[in-house]
Amino acid sequence: MAHDDLVDRLMNDYSQWTPESKSFISAKKTDSMTLLDTSAQVDMSTMRKYRLARLQAEIQKSEYGAALFFDPINVRYATGTRNMTVWLLHNHGRYCVVPAEGKVVLFEYSNKNCESMSDGIEVVGDVRRAKGWSYFFAGEHVATVCREFADEMADLIKGLSPDNLRLAVDRLDPLATHELERHGLSLFDGQALIEKARAVKSVEEVACMNVAMAACDAGIARMREALKPGITENQLWAELHYANIAHGGEWMETRILSSGGRTNPWFQESSDRVIRPGDIVSFDTDMIGPYGYCCDVSRTFFCGPGRPSSEQRRLYGLAMEQIHHNLDLCAPGVTFREIGEKAWRVPERYSDQKYSSIAHGVGLCDEWPVISYTDIEGRKIQEGVLEPGMMICIESYIGETGGAEGVKLEQQILITDTGYELLSTYPFEDELLGD
């Protein structure tokens, strides 16, 4: 299919963002994870075809013959399959080739028991055994195995695209780079094109995200119920892990939860600190939930008994002001630069520790774009425009350098054809909103 025809077909999919479809994508109407005769379910086949079409449109736009992906998240986007995801984040033992047209060639982890895992996946046309040439897999035979990998890969690319040996790759070590170039392949950055493809979600992807977000909200509710003096940060954090796995989720990207004085500065990992009465507890979910979709939400709780201090309420109020000011900037057609220029200005006393970005994309993980402040010297500003179907996380951290505590909040939203819709529905903290 020609690139222009493929883009036209994708553009027609944007009819899904009509007002009539809002009930389907609403966070209040989350699909169940079981098949029911009486309700619409997520059509995974349609979702896989949509994602592959998005990706191939970007490959054609960049005039590549094919793309080679190793990152398990990219492989999942391209194929709709998974296998030992976290383990394969640091072991190059599974990869795929996406041609500019046609079905994906999946190189599955080299155990015959894994070869049937993609049976019935309509976007996968061929399954082969992967060649792991890292030192872990190959030891002193690294060079030989890598040469075998490159020989097979070159034969495949030349067969799929004999007139175009421009290959996009998401990550590759020096040895494999040299071996592929030895075969006459020209290598280019594949991460940029797949980030652009992943940015705009289909109705089916939004439905999957809503299921994941429901699991996340359930985990946050477990944490809130468990928060009592004497619980440790790790014990509290484990409640979110439990809910994620119990609801079919997958893993946690980080372990950012802190209490009391550990909330300032931000980005401290969960510890065995015992939470005490009067502490605030701040956390960032960074949760890869059901269907592999990422729920990136932050809340700050108050641990009773007693009432929050005026300083705790003031920090919380400023974070709320920042979140809602920046949410109001989000609409289709608004540029990333415009959001950076009109964003809520963090008061000077908190500016040194403000969050590193105003907002960022989210999907199978944190994704492009990162929307930055425009008043930071030397900061590179990403250019682009919000589109219907994008998912964005709005960030806030308010904490003074050397201050006693800090407040972290974050909301996850879907850009619609008229504005935005909240994906995260867990409420904010009434006690911290009081006068």
User: How many whole angstroms separate alpha carbon 134 and alpha carbon 292?
Assistant: 26
User: How many whole angstroms separate alpha carbon 323 and alpha carbon 355?
Assistant: 12
Q: Give the tens place of pLDDT for each residue, 8-44.
A: 544 444 444 444 444 445 666 666 655 454 456 789 9
Low-confidence residues in the chain, pLDDT < 70: 1-40, 435
User: How many whole angstroms separate alpha carbon 394 and alpha carbon 215?
Assistant: 20
Name the CA radius of gyration of the chain, rounded. 23
List, in order of start, the domains of the chain with CATH numbers: 43-198 (3.40.350.10), 203-433 (3.90.230.10)
Q: What is the pLDDT of residue 114?
A: 84
Q: What is the pLDDT of residue 34?
A: 57
Q: What is the pLDDT of residue 435?
A: 63
Q: What is the DSSP string of 119-171?
A: TT-TTEEEEEE----SHHHHGGGHHHHHHHHHHHHHHHHHHH-TT--EEEES-
The DSSP H or E segment spanning 217 is helix 203-226
Q: Give the tens place of pLDDT for each residue, 155-164.
A: 999 999 999 9
What is the tally of helices (H) and strands (E) in the chain? 15, 17
Q: What is the pLDDT of residue 32?
A: 62
Name which of 213, 190, 189 is nearest 201 in CA terms: 213
- Hey, how many other C-beta atoms are within 10 angstroms of the C-beta on 175? 17
The answer for 389, left when phi > 0, alpha when psi is -120 to 50, beta otherwise, is left
Burial of 419-431, coded b for 16+ CB within 10 Å and e otherwise, reads: ebeebbbbeebee
The model's pTM is: 0.91
